[in-house]
Amino acid sequence: MTDRTRVVVTGYGALCALGNNVTDIWEAAIAGKSGIAPITRFDASEYPTTFAGEIKGFDPAAEIGKKESRRLDRYSQLSVVATRQAIDMAGLDVSANADRTGVLIGTGVGGVETMESGIENLVTGGPRRVSPFFVPMMLANMASGNVAIDIGAKGPNFAPVSACAAGAHAIGEGVTMIRNGIADVVIAGGAEAPIARIGVAGFSSMGALSTRNDAPEQASRPFDALRDGFVLAEGAASLILESLEHAQARGATILGEVIGYGLTDDANHMVQPAPGGEGAARAIGLALADAGVTPEQIGYINAHGTSTPLNEKLETAAVKRAFGETAYSVPMSSTKSMTGHLLGAAGAIEGVFTLLALQNGILPPTINQTDADPDCDLDYIPNVARVKDISIAMSNSMGFGGHNVSLIFAKAQ
């Protein structure tokens, strides 16, 4: 690495189908539990797919307040709560440096439930039935905006919107801001709440979702020969990024460091990865170069691993392309096998999983690995978590539109 500002992580918070805080999520993940279950947010009985990765027992009124929660779409609610958790862990007083504290919360689609209900109100009741809060609730930047309002962060603020790479882009761009001296602290993450009628119908129409309705907990099976589509999921995760100098000056506990960031685009197809995983491989190579490390130094990869027939074949090819023969000796897993696919929040929560693997010396598994796929012949940590002390790890994300992001994290020194 060149002589530059180092960026560390001092806190994180998350909610997903595995739990409503990081402790519960991590315990479920290393136990190999699935968070996938039948949909309860609406009657999905007539849909091709009737299950998803829903968050259980989340009460926005209790978490945020009855009045305020009614003015936030669910994806914003989740992001505010995840960020509060992260700030508590970091012991961060935003007011002490508000002007140099930024917020970047990525999302794939933003306020889906608000959009759906607003259009329904318009069609059934006319324009006067549309809520005055419709626009500020459904916009894709409003999780970033509402988090800043909630914590008083007055620094740089925007929302990466790059489909399933958005949360990873947020972390990478936060690192870049701190390296460039634009901010001392950035709350970076992702949020998504797509389990609405239009969300499930849209992905079903594409043929993107698993239809394993008889066994939802077995439906997300990345790298397995019997995978038949991804599992739609909701959630949010936020990370507190700080310059090392800022974190040390306030006596913060350092949980890990972000040392590499690579980003590319396939320029190939709206939803299909580039042949041979070429675009993702370039992102991995750029991240390795940015971090100043070799493939041999990577101890674990948190894969994008969506559980779709094409993704895993090409993601495997991308890792081989970037790592060469070393690819066969690097363990990698997809935590989407347990959480489902959080779309724009996926890269953020998978960044948290990667940091937890570094901190705890435990690599989460890819569950539902039962049938080998000859196109997927790497070490995917099948079914059972693995104890392994590692120092450097990678997290990969890919999004519709050809977006590729690779992040490299290092264990706290």
Active centre residues (catalytic): 164, 304, 341
Cα separation, 12 vs 348, in Å, equals 10
- C-alpha distance from residue 70 to each of 20, 31, 128 (Å): 20, 35, 19
- C-alpha distance from residue 241 to each of 7, 97, 147, 174 (Å): 6, 14, 15, 7
Cα separation, 219 vs 105, in Å, equals 28
What are residue 403's DSSP bridge partners? 265, 399
Pairing of strands 51-52, 157-158: unpaired
In this structure, is the dihedral angle defined by the CA atoms of residues 286, 156, 11 and 77, taken in order, positive or negative?
negative
Burial of 371 (0-12, 13-18, 19+ CB in 10 A): exposed
Cα separation, 116 vs 109, in Å, equals 12
Which among 22, 164, 185 is positioned nearest to 106, based on CA atoms? 164
- C-alpha distance from residue 406 to each of 26, 45, 61, 176 (Å): 22, 38, 36, 14
